[in-house]
């Protein structure tokens, strides 16, 4: 699952990888800050959390379930992208920055599932029927961006981040 994105992570891991309290830090970037990393991946969710907590909203497509079994949220491309995670009660005041349960509970949506955002405040949605991804700009004057899968969205996000650096 996510072949192009996982290839990018592997490439980044070959240059620098660190593990801190179960959090995987990839791509140490001391030129940005002494403790800066390109990607921060939070420990994966246990199976019971993926199946019970997230399925309270709607049966999740396999692609999104796999994502949460790989990582419980992430900060990617030096903060350009936030994939929302699920915080347990013990983690309530720590990372990941966004709790998908809190975010989703504020949105009544039957066909789409918000699961991420970018540093511009745009919301990223997964369409339950097609499994495509839609980026809705915070600036209502801009058009939405549609991509065929989570993997394609992750690669698109990397390209956007590269263009901004």
- What structural domains does the chain harbor? 3-164 (3.40.1580.10)
Separation in Å, CA 33 to CA 25, 30, 65 = 14, 5, 33
* DSSP letter, residue 157: H
Reduced 3-state DSSP string for 122-146: CEEEEECCCCCEEEECCCCCCCCEE
Under DSSP, is residue 54 helix (H, G, I), strand (E, B) or coil?
Answer: helix
Integer Cα distance of 26 and 64 in angstroms: 22
**Confidence at residue 102, expressed as pLDDT on a 0 to 100 scale:** 52
Whether the Cβ atoms of residue 96 and residue 85 lie closer than 8 Å to each other: yes
pLDDT digits (tens, 9 = 90+) for 61-103: 777 778 888 888 888 888 888 888 776 554 544 445 455 555 5
pLDDT tens digits for range 105-156: 444 455 777 788 888 888 888 887 788 899 988 877 788 899 998 888 888 8
- pLDDT of 44 > 50? The answer is yes
- Lowest-confidence pick of 27-31, 36-40, 91-95, 135-139: 91-95
């Amino acid at each position: 699952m996510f072949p192009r994105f996982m290839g990018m992570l592997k490439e980044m891991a070959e240059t620098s990888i660190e593990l801190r309290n179960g959090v995987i830090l990839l791509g140490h970037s001391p030129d940005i800050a002494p403790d800066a990393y390109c990607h921060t991946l939070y420990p994966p969710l246990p199976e019971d959390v993926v199946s019970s907590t997230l399925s309270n909203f709607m049966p999740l497509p396999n692609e999104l379930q796999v994502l949460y079994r790989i990582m419980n949220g992430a900060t990617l491309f030096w903060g350009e992208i936030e994939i929302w995670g699920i915080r347990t009660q013990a983690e309530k005041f720590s990372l990941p920055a966004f709790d998908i349960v809190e975010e989703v509970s504020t949105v009544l949506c039957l066909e789409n599932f918000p699961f991420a955002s970018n540093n511009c405040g745009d919301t990223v949605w997964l369409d339950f029927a097609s499994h495509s991804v839609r980026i809705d700009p915070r600036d209502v004057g801009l058009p939405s961006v549609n991509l065929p899968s989570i993997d394609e969205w992750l690669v698109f996000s990397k390209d956007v981040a590269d263009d901004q650096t």
